[in-house]
Structure 1
């Protein structure tokens, strides 16, 4: 696997992933900003033997001396921890794109795909992703979209009482930054999407999950544990 490669030419700059705690409208969030033009942002699911990694510590075990600078769960998964939607890792598609509506948050259309390439990362609404057919090195489908072309998902209700710990990702228009967010307080979809749209000012953002949301941010002394995870996104140093 590509994460076993040894980097011989330089060490990554210190502080290239910036994680910070933010208060917004009475709720606490943690943001981790990744410069996708310079950082080694990857998706992780299983090892070379097909065994699901499932945790931040398991990823570091296969990194052969390299370390995670940041990581979080990155998409919904079945009981066997297989991805619910489209999943690509190291240019190998492991699950096709799902375009039809369905049960649960994943099927609350429009949903989307987080696409990673060398030097960029973008969130696409799923039908736009299918139409554009970008060649993603890594990709994970989840849902619902939080922000679509600068607007909140049309089905988010300002007075919703459904609140959970939630996590997701938004990207800048040029794909040069990916900003990952986890709420530290239970929040509604409307509150979570508004954080990306209003506070962060991002044009597109995608929901990863709720209840099972986990973050690894060593600069903050944080390594969440609990449920075994499916897809995970992380920056490798």
Structure 2
């Protein structure tokens, strides 16, 4: 029986997908990618939101360098035909698939682990999380979509710094550089990610799909083409659920928006 390298659990409308190679700091090899793809596809079929997390003390330390060495030294046979990079395929299913994903990050989130994390739409980190791109020190280059995805999150200057110098970002620095959008105390990232996922699952599925699929594509377009695509989207047929939710707002029965905590007025 094959080893369970990726765990899967359905919690209501939320699919919990865990990297389960803790003894290797959840390093990602092809076996992990195969199981991750199966889990992500299953989540798209039966859940409304997915949560990515890592078992053990780290989210993921990135590429399995032993496997990379095997390829670099021709110890493993290359495929007979060129195909799309397996990491690109799976991470794109996460980033632009049928459901949104929230990533719960702790410990090492480096290299391929950071590439996987930035495929998620919302990222929560706890105080133990640190982020880096050590490819420059390993003689390799990012290959899991990082040139596109990470660069769009943190910008060229920060990404180049991480790769050239081997610098690691702390959890607080990761928050500042937009790697994460929520920072929790140690050990609480997964709970916060589940909370956010449950909230996202209450949205209209069609709107969630537009946010995760249409919005990033608009970012790739010119100003005029972006506005045109937005116009086309806004004039597409709406689901019955949209009419129901709009009616609830008009009737005053819709759930009010949650305002951030207001500063207390001095006495």
TM-score (norm 1): 0.24
Relative to its length, the structure with more helix (as a share) is: 2
Relative to its length, the structure with more strand (as a share) is: 1
Higher relative contact order (CA 8 A, sep 6+): 1
